[in-house]
Amino acid sequence: MISLTIEDLTKCFGETTALDRVNLRIEAGEIFFLLGPSGCGKTTLLRSIAGFVIPDHGRILFGEKDLTRTPPHRRNTGMMFQSYALWPHLTVAQNVAFGLEERRVVAAEITQRVKLALESVQMAAFGARKIHQLSGGQQQRVALARALVIRPDFLLLDEPLSNLDARLRLEMRVEIRRICKESGLTAIYVTHDQKEALSIADRMAVMEAGQVRQAGKPADLYRRPDSKFVADFMGETNFLTGKVEEVTDLAVVVQTDAGSFDAAVREGRALRPGDPCTLSIRPESWKLATHTLARNAVEGRITERIYLGEMAQYRFSAGPRTLKICELNPRFLDLSPERQIFASVDPEDVVLLPA
C-alpha cells in the first residue's frame, strides 16, 4: 500500500478551469471520496490520477514517485467506470482476465488470480457466463473483480453504483467497503451521493468549481462544515442569518429572526459582537416538546407533516421563519396545527458559519 499526494493540480479546458490548485493527501489503505455537484471537477481529478487527463500544472505523487505525466498503463491503477465497460462477447472470466493478458502474465497465474478475484466479489460460480446473462449488480461485481485482479496500487471508482436500483446500491455499499478493506486497497471514489459517501468513506473531500472546499472525516464534514456550501451539500439544514450578540469562553450568542441561539465555540473562529454570521442547524438536531425551559428554544406550530414510518418530517412555523424538523419515533403526528409547541436545539448542534 502506498499514499497519494496531489500538489497544486490545475487543469483547464479552453476557458473552463476544471481543477484550480487542488491539494490533497490520501493515506495508504484509505477509502477516500471525492464528492460534489456535477461539473465541480471530481471526475477530472480522478481521471488525472488514472493518467487519462494530463494537468496543466502541479504534481501527482504515488508514494514518492512523480507520475504526473506517466501514461495510464504504467501507473498500476484499477479503474471502475460508471458504465462498467465490460466486453459483451467475452465470458465473465475472460473479462476479468483481460488486464492480466495485456500485462503478459503467464496462463497458470492468470487462471489462479481470476479465480481469487471472482471469489472476492462472490462471483466464482459465474465465470463461464456471458455478460448479457448477468443482472446489473452482478455486472458491477465483475467490473470490480476486473479492477482488483491486477492488484492495483489504487482502485479508482467513478460513480460505480449510479446504474443500480436503490436496494442494490445499499447492498453494494457494504460489499465495496468490505472488499477494499479485506484486500488492503487504497481506493478513490467519485460520487455526488452524500449517503453513499457517508456510509463508505474513511475520509472525503467536497469540491466546488474545481477547488476542494473541505476535506476530513465524514462525521466532521456533516456535523462541522466550514462553509454554507458544504453544510448545504452534505444534507438538509436550516440556515438562520443573524448577528453576534455576545461571545463567552463557552458559547457565541447569535440573534436571528427566529430567536436567540447559543452556538458552541469552535477553534479558529474569532468573532466579535455585531459581526454578521449564519447558523446551520440540521433537521434531526431539533427536539420537540409541549413546554420547555431550554435557552435554545423557539415557539411555533407544525404546519405540515410527512410520515415515513420510523421518522416524520415537519414544517415548523416559528414567527417569520419556517424550519425543517425531523423526529425519530414520531409523537407529534396528530397534534393540531393550532397547538403551540417548542423546538429546542443543543449548542453543540448549532454550527456557526461565516456570513
pLDDT band at 355 (very low <50, low <70, confident <90, very high): confident
In terms of domains, do 109 and 245 share one?
Answer: no
In terms of domains, do 241 and 214 share one?
Answer: no
Q: Could you give the CA distance from residue 150 to residue 193 in angstroms, rounded to a whole number?
A: 28
In terms of domains, do 278 and 181 share one?
Answer: no
In terms of domains, do 287 and 156 share one?
Answer: no
DSSP, collapsed to helix, strand or coil, labels residue 302 as strand
DSSP, collapsed to helix, strand or coil, labels residue 192 as coil
Residue where a domain terminates, one of 178, 202, 231: 231
pLDDT of 165 reads 76
In terms of domains, do 185 and 275 share one?
Answer: no
DSSP state of 102: H
Question: Which residues does residue 304 pair with via DSSP β-bridges, in sequence order?
Answer: 315
Query: Which CATH number belongs to the domain containing residue 322 in this structure?
Result: 2.40.50.100
Q: Could you give the CA distance from residue 189 to residue 115 in angstroms, rounded to a whole number?
A: 25
Average pLDDT, the chain: 89
Is a pLDDT exceeding 90 seen at residue 173? no
Which of residues 72 and 249 earns the better pLDDT score? 72
pLDDT digits (tens, 9 = 90+) for 202-227: 999 999 999 999 999 999 999 999 99
Contact 221, 82 (CB under 8 A): no
Q: Could you give the CA distance from residue 208 to residue 38 in angstroms, rounded to a whole number?
A: 9
pTM, full prediction: 0.86
Which helix (H) or strand (E) element contains residue 285?
A: none
Find where cell 435557552 sits.
295
Percent of the chain with pLDDT over 90: 55
Query: Lowest-pLDDT range, 63-77, 233-247, 310-324, 330-344?
Result: 330-344
Residue where a domain terminates, one of 231, 254, 286: 231
Angle (nearest 5°) at CA 72 between 105 and 108 = 10
In terms of domains, do 272 and 223 share one?
Answer: no
Contact 98, 150 (CB under 8 A): no
pLDDT of 185 reads 86
Residue type, 21: R
Contact 47, 91 (CB under 8 A): no
Q: Could you give the CA distance from residue 35 to residue 196 in angstroms, rounded to a whole number?
A: 10
In terms of domains, do 70 and 185 share one?
Answer: yes
pLDDT of 42 reads 94
Is a pLDDT exceeding 90 seen at residue 5? yes
Nearest to 326 by CA among 313, 317, 337: 313
pLDDT of 269 reads 66
* Helix 166-183 × helix 107-120 angle, to 10°: 130
Contact 302, 315 (CB under 8 A): yes
Looking at the 3D structure of the chain, how many domains does it have?
2
Contact 164, 83 (CB under 8 A): no
Average pLDDT of span 41-49: 95
In terms of domains, do 69 and 211 share one?
Answer: yes
In terms of domains, do 208 and 323 share one?
Answer: no
DSSP state of 130: B
In terms of domains, do 174 and 196 share one?
Answer: yes
Angle (nearest 5°) at CA 150 between 149 and 155 = 90
Query: Lowest-pLDDT range, 18-22, 79-83, 99-103, 107-111?
Result: 79-83
Is a pLDDT exceeding 80 seen at residue 193? yes
Query: Which CATH number belongs to the domain containing residue 167 in this structure?
Result: 3.40.50.300
DSSP annotation string for 159-175: STTTTS-HHHHHHHHHH
pLDDT of 251 reads 85
DSSP state of 91: B
In terms of domains, do 241 and 199 share one?
Answer: no
pLDDT digits (tens, 9 = 90+) for 99-149: 888 888 899 999 999 998 898 888 889 988 999 888 888 888 888 888 888
In terms of domains, do 20 and 60 share one?
Answer: yes
Question: Which residues does residue 187 pair with via DSSP β-bridges, in sequence order?
Answer: 31, 155
Is a pLDDT exceeding 70 seen at residue 24? yes
Average pLDDT of span 326-340: 84
Domain that holds residue 264: 236-354
Residue where a domain terminates, one of 231, 251, 281: 231
Is a pLDDT exceeding 80 seen at residue 187? yes
Contact 77, 154 (CB under 8 A): yes
Is a pLDDT exceeding 80 seen at residue 162? no
Q: Could you give the CA distance from residue 324 to residue 129 in angstroms, rounded to a whole number?
A: 50
pLDDT digits (tens, 9 = 90+) for 262-297: 998 776 567 888 889 999 999 999 999 988 767 889
